[in-house]
Amino acid sequence: MLIKKIKELREYLQPYKADNETIGLVPTMGALHAGHLSLIKTAKSMCDRVVVSVFVNPIQFGPNEDYTKYPRTLDEDYKLCTQNGVDAVFSPSPAEMYGEGFILSNNNLTYVCPPFNYTDKLCGKSRVGHFDGVCTVVNKLFNIAQPDFAFFGEKDAQQLIIIKKMVKDLNIPVEIIGCPLIREESGLALSSRNKYLSDDGKREALVLYKILQNIKKCYKQGITDVAALKETAFTFLNNNVELEYLEIYDADTLDELTKANDNSRAFIACKVEDVRLIDNIKLGE
Binding residues for ligand PAF, rule: CB under 6 A, are 27-29, 57, 60, 134, 137-138, 156, 159
CA distance linking residue 75 with residue 73, whole number of Å: 6
Amino acid (one-letter) located at 254: L
Supply the minimum distance, in Å, between the C-beta of residue 153 and ligand PAF: 7
Question: Is the Cα torsion angle 110, 153, 162, 212 positive or negative in sign?
Answer: negative
> Taking phi first (over 0 means left), then psi (-120 to 50 degrees means alpha), and beta for anything else, what does residue 237 get?
beta
Considering beta carbons, is residue 3 or 137 the nearer one to ligand PAF?
Answer: 137
Q: Are 236 and 211 in contact (CB under 8 A)?
A: yes
Considering beta carbons, is residue 36 or 265 the nearer one to ligand PAF?
Answer: 36
Amino acid (one-letter) located at 61: F
6-18 and 130-145 are packed helices; what angle lies between their axes, rounded to 10 degrees? 50
CA distance linking residue 36 with residue 252, whole number of Å: 22
Query: Which of 36, 49, 130, 216 does the annotation list as catalytic?
Result: 36
Active-site residue flag, 33: no
Supply the minimum distance, in Å, between the C-beta of residue 221 and ligand PAF: 34
Supply the minimum distance, in Å, between the C-beta of residue 95 and ligand PAF: 16
Q: Which helix (H) or strand (E) holds 95?
A: helix 94-98
Q: Are 260 and 283 in contact (CB under 8 A)?
A: yes
Considering beta carbons, is residue 92 or 208 the nearer one to ligand PAF?
Answer: 92
Q: How many CB atoms lie within 10 A of CB 220?
A: 10
Distance from the Cα of residue 171 to its chain's centroid: 21
Supply the minimum distance, in Å, between the C-beta of residue 52 and ligand PAF: 10
- Collapsed DSSP state (helix, strand, coil) of residue 115: coil
Q: Which residues belong to the active site?
A: 36
